[in-house]
Amino acid sequence: MVKASYPSMSIQEIIAALAMWGLSIADEQLQRPSPEFVEGIFCACLQQATDITVESLTGPVQEAVEACTSQNGPQETYRTCTQPL
């Protein structure tokens, strides 16, 4: 099996690449990213790569969470949510 590899990029190269998407970030944000920063970058990449926005996922995610909530207790909820489609 062939292992995938990704090109190594410097901090400045990453900043320049994200700037092409209209994202302005600082070196410090990449060197010590907060959870909020990582989520924001993930969402920006998701939208750029798939044209899916976080807002468009909010309803389906909420519906999935509600579907996993069972009146039969945690064990039933776990079985329902982990069964393959």
Domains of the chain by residue range: 9-52, 54-85
**11 Cβ neighbours under 8 A, 6+ residues apart:** 27, 30, 31
**27 Cβ neighbours under 8 A, 6+ residues apart:** 11, 12, 15
CB 77 within 8 A of CB 69: yes
Residue 48 has pLDDT above 60, yes or no: yes
For residue 35, the model assigns a pLDDT of: 93
Residue 83 has pLDDT above 70, yes or no: no
Three-class DSSP category at 56: helix
Residue 2 has pLDDT above 60, yes or no: yes
For residue 85, the model assigns a pLDDT of: 44
CA within 13 Å, CB half, 19:
10
- pTM exceeds cut of 0.85: no
In tens, the pLDDT along 54-66 reads: 889 888 888 888 8
